[in-house]
Amino acid sequence: MLSKSQQKIIRQLSKKKHRKENGLFVAEGEKVVHELLTYGWKAEQVFSIDPIKNIPHTLVEPSELKKISFFSSASSILGVFHLPNYDHNNNNDPGFSMALDNISDPGNLGTIIRLCDWFGIKKIYCSPNTVDCFNPKVVQSTMGSIARVQCLYVDLMELIENFGFEIYAAALSGKSIYKESFSSNGLLLMGSESHGIGKSLLEKIKNQITIPNFSSNKLPESLNVSTATAIVLSEIFRP
């Protein structure tokens, strides 16, 4: 049975402030919880409405789980996990990395994390004003990829000025991705659909790229950032 104090603490984890204070975040759904456990993430508590083999957990009633769920349709399992302690000092690993400037929508960030997992990208550098990757909606939309992809919140200007490989920035006025020769090591910077990449950042990057619009009327004027990220990554990793 869930105590009122347990319910209060878990519900507070919807806010970034309380996640940071407690060093905890919430993951919901069988797939997400199992992925985190499989990849060695430390669980503070796991609550389930059904018995689970080989996983320490607390059995609760569906009505109890609904009280601590952040979604209208509660899943059968919810885990409270410890926040990771990532190394922010090694920012020049070989291979490709992502950087995100001012991505505010949790669903977009979650989808981008999942895309990075698909393409083998291990690190995403996020501007401080990008939505927290441990927001429950972000965690849910990663479908477990949060277990394998690190999101590091850094000063993007400092990152760009000290990055040791090629940097590519998505911009409407950039060169077509189909005419760009991408290096095997680099950084892809994406901005929000509404604001794009900040002007001061964009001015620092010589390799500006775009997805050409093949429509005869040049509409729509832009793409959702997660959709655009999928297209660009597919071209970067094309054999």
Residues of each domain in the chain carrying CATH 3.40.1280.10: 96-236
What are the residues whose beta carbons fall under 8 Å from the beta carbon of 153, sequence distance 6 or more?
126, 127, 128, 130
CA dist 236 and 239 (Å) reads: 9
Does the pLDDT of residue 187 top 80, yes or no?
Answer: yes
- CATH 3.30.1330.30 residue window(s) in the chain: 4-82
For 96-236, which CATH superfamily applies? SPOUT methyltransferase, trefoil knot domain (3.40.1280.10)
- Mean pLDDT, residues 15-22: 97
For the segment 205-228, what is each residue's pLDDT rounded down to a tens digit? 999 999 999 988 878 888 999 999
pLDDT in tens, 107-150: 999 999 999 999 999 999 999 999 999 999 999 999 999 999 99
Query: pTM for the complete prediction?
Result: 0.94
Question: Which phi and psi (to 5°) does residue 187 adopt?
Answer: -135, 130
Burial 8-29 (b: 16+ CB within 10 A, else e): ebbeebeeeeebeebebbbbbb
- The CATH class given to the 4-82 domain equals alpha beta
